[in-house]
Amino acid sequence: MLDTDQSAVWIKNPLAVYADNSDSGVVISGNKIIELVPLGRLPKADINEVYDASNSVLLPGLINTHHHFYQTLTRAYPEALNKDLFPWLKSLYKVWANIEPEMLAVSTELALSELLLSGCTTASDHHYLFPSQLENAIDIQVEEAQKIGMRVTLTRGSMSLGEKDGGLPPQSVVQTKRDILLDSERLIKKYHNNKEGAMTQIALAPCSPFSVTKDLMIETAGLAQQYDVRLHTHLAETIDEEKFCLEKFGLRTVDYLESVGWLSNKTWLAHGIHFNKQEIQKLGESGVGICHCPSSNMMLASGICHSLELEESGSTIGLGVDGSASNDGSNMIAELRQAMYLQRLRYGASRVTHQKAYDWATKGSAALLGRSDIGEIAIGKQADLALFKLDELRFSGSHDSLAALLLCGAQKADRVMIAGKWKVVDGKIDGQDEAELISRHSNAAIKLRQLANV
């Protein structure tokens, strides 16, 4: 029943909609979808407000399940160009070690803004850099996400295996196991909300096999189980990582994951490229999810995720833009197009449809984050929606509007709603001075480079 204190908004007659039985639109009350309106019908609810969507394609809000917001400060960084993952990381670690709190704040604001403007309503960030001046990094990100009004799953990343112990990162950016676990517990208690409609959630995310100890992986899994939060890490992104695991631990990547107690349906992995058939089967049987990051995988020449085999084995596939120093953008609708085309190289056009890409970025990504209240236009789901207009030159002559968004290369949403509130109107974030944000962010990027070169 409609709460009399809340208005009902009819998003009326969309040009196309990615949902069943809703050709005449959807009705929103409060933060939820309360009605789907079939073709030729009128809403049953008493309507207080109508938005004419006849020139818009209506999608569920897109969900980004892997990112590194701080990397917006080092896009197209000269010393990191044209390198594979390990040398690329080594070039940038010494730069990132100098990030200051205000730099993280503005880089988070900018990354979230980019995502929001591309139709993304929920974003997961993997922040694993905690030099001494940045120990409250996740607190900073929570504050910025609340300001902009986006849903976030902020993963408390970590690095504990520095160069002196055989790891990849420099000692200046690693922490002790004790400090990592104490802060992880603090953040869960302070910010994690497991209720329906939650705006902020916390997950635990040791960075990668080449930057954390086995002990930290094991104890993080125990902490996640204790507080019922999800686990996230990079895995099997490159052959170099596979070689590292064999040399350091005597195990392939999935065997390593099993040895530290991470084979669980509460775990999702970034990239997941270099698996053999047996490993794909083991991951699927355990319910481990995979975030496919196509642009990053192409930029670093890491490889192509075995998405369909993983799905067939039982794994869920979602999408992520990955860090803005390996993409180098934060555009979620563009990432769907990349995912569709890259996966077609492996499986063919008929098996990787535009609908498959939409599902990966909505229902699939929601499942990776353990959420059943978002990722779909359906009654009772959160009112997280993205509307795109086809009024640019690139769309002229297109016939299937849902397909055209991806095939013709949509870049920007016209309107975006989160929890029933418009956050983007006419292609602009409500209340934001975009030029001022760009100026602050650009100045922070310049300062960071200067600090790195001192």
pLDDT over 90 at 2, yes or no: no
More confident residue, 331 or 2: 331
Range in 5-14, 125-134, 286-295 the model is least confident about: 5-14
pLDDT of residue 5: 54
CATH of domain 8-60+381-429: 2.30.40.10
Q: Which tokens belong to 4?
A: 């009399």
Which residues contact residue 146 at a Cβ distance below 8 angstroms, ignoring those fewer than 6 apart? 199, 200
Q: What is the pTM of this model?
A: 0.97
Give residue-wise pLDDT tens across range 58-83.
999 999 999 999 999 999 999 999 99
pLDDT of residue 7: 86
For residue 365, which of 318, 332, 307 has the smallest C-alpha distance? 318
Segment 281-288 shows an average pLDDT of 98
pLDDT of residue 1: 37
Same-fold call for 8-60+381-429 versus 62-368: no
Mean residue pLDDT across the chain: 96
* Residue extents of the structural domains in the chain: 8-60+381-429, 62-368
CA atoms of 380 and 356, how far apart (whole Å): 23
Give residue-wise pLDDT tens across range 226-256.
999 999 999 999 999 999 999 999 999 999 9
CATH of domain 62-368: 3.20.20.140
CA atoms of 344 and 362, how far apart (whole Å): 19
Segment 170-197 shows an average pLDDT of 96
- Residue recorded with tokens 């100098």: 98
